[in-house]
Structure 1
Amino acid sequence: MTEDILALVPIYGLVVLGVGTFLSCLALPVPSSLLMLSAGGFAVSGDLVLWQAAMAALTGAILGDQLGYYIGHAGGRYAASASRSPRRAHLMEKARRQIIDKGGWAVFFSRWLVSPLGPYVNFAAGAAGLRWSRFTRAGVAGELVWVTVYVGLGAVFADNIVVLGQLLGDVTGLLAALVALGLCALWLRAALRQRPLIPRGEAGRRAKEALVRLQERRKS
């Protein structure tokens, strides 16, 4: 599948690049990073023009980010209206505020440093109500870094694109896994803090009452 897609780059180069980065920003399994590396290599051989390839990839990525943001925005409004639990609503509001406060940096770094998380950051930013102008500035800046690095590396290491793509994929995948693990730890910590604490005496009383009810059920 990947080899078939890469074979289309020298033939339909700009369209394939734009569509590939667009779809990858919507969490679809498209090897966009490898496409950009290949585009850089084909530019060295004269099959593509380097700046045109970079612009096509950048345009597709920005459009994909925008669509992901608006999908998250629409879904976020639905989730907010469907959340009837006060506790759940409080947690959602807290998460929303954190994304709004620190969302610009999350958007920027998820474009290139931890790119596997990028589509989900788009959805989360839209759902949390991150200001569109802030999202767009951070997203465009991050996509510029992403496209420049990958197309540039493809041009420099044209003879070792597959090996380079695997190496970069492993590195970004590991970073994304570490970030996801850290976010899960923070979420668990916040959830435990929101959980009401039961005094020891109260906990013991409840346990005894539960034991008595269980014994009564067995007798009956």
Structure 2
Amino acid sequence: MNQVIIEYLRIYNVWLLGVLLLIQCIGIPTGGTLLVIASGAFAYAGEFNIFILFIEVWIFLCIGDVIAYMLWNLIGHKILNKYPKLRIYVKPKILKGHKYLEKHGKGAVFYTRFLISPMGPFINAAAGITEYKLSHFAVFAALGELFWACMYLGLGYWFGDSWENIIPIITQISRIFVYIIILIIILYFFIKILKEK
């Protein structure tokens, strides 16, 4: 399957990559990370200009994050307005999420772009639903995506012809980060419950 997508990338160039990155920002896994690494390797081989590719990838990621924010903002409120019982149940959680994002939103948006990128779509959704300030979201998402684009394009470019060998390592590292974050969240709530009791 990955080989087919890579062949399509060679045929349709950056437009396929851009569409897949936009969809990935919404939260649908598309293999965009793999394609960005592959694109970096193709740039090493002379198929793409690495600087133009970097700008294109970065712009698509920034647009994708803003679209995801706006989509969740629109859909979240429509669903809550349509189902009043759900709104009553969720409203305290939305207020809590809003307070959290007001306090830690810049860091949460920034670090979930590249360091713990599997959490990025969840932060996009939370920021949209809680109406976190769009200007702050867009700026820190753009800064984080700058690191993401540098990191993954750079890996592909650096490893060149042997770029496929690093894919399993990157996948494992991403999973480990997600597991660590989940463990920290569980420990946080566990300690909080113990303190309340």
Q: What's the TM-score once normalised by structure 2's chain length?
A: 0.87
SS in 2 for 1:25: helix
- 5+ residue gaps in structure 1? 198-220
What residue number does 1:51 align with? 51
* Partner of residue 87 from structure 2, selected from 60, 65, 83: 83
* Identity, % of aligned positions: 24
Give the 5 Å matches for 1:60-75. 60-75=60-75
What residue number does 2:16 align with? 16
- 5+ residue gaps in structure 2? none
SS in 1 for 2:124: helix
Shift of 1:189: 5.7
User: Which has the larger Rg?
Assistant: 1
Cα distance change on mapping 1:91 and 1:189 into 2, 3 Å: farther
Distance 1:15 1:54 in 2: 13
Cα deviation digits, residues 89-123 of structure 1 (max 9, x gap): 43432222012210111111111111111111101
* Partner of residue 148 from structure 2, selected from 139, 146, 149: 146
CA-based RMSD: 2.3
SS in 2 for 1:135: helix
Per chain length, whose mean CA-contact separation is higher, i.e. which structure has more relative contact order (CA < 8 Å, sep 6+)? Answer: 2
Q: What's the TM-score once normalised by structure 1's chain length?
A: 0.79
Shift of 1:41: 0.9
What residue number does 1:121 align with? 123
What residue number does 1:38 align with? 38
Distance 1:92 1:184 in 2: 19
Give the 5 Å matches for 1:105-116. 105-116=107-118
* Partner of residue 133 from structure 2, selected from 120, 131, 134: 131
Cα pair 1:10 1:48 within 8 Å, conserved: no
Distance 1:90 1:14 in 2: 42
| Count of aligned residue pairs for this structure pair | 193
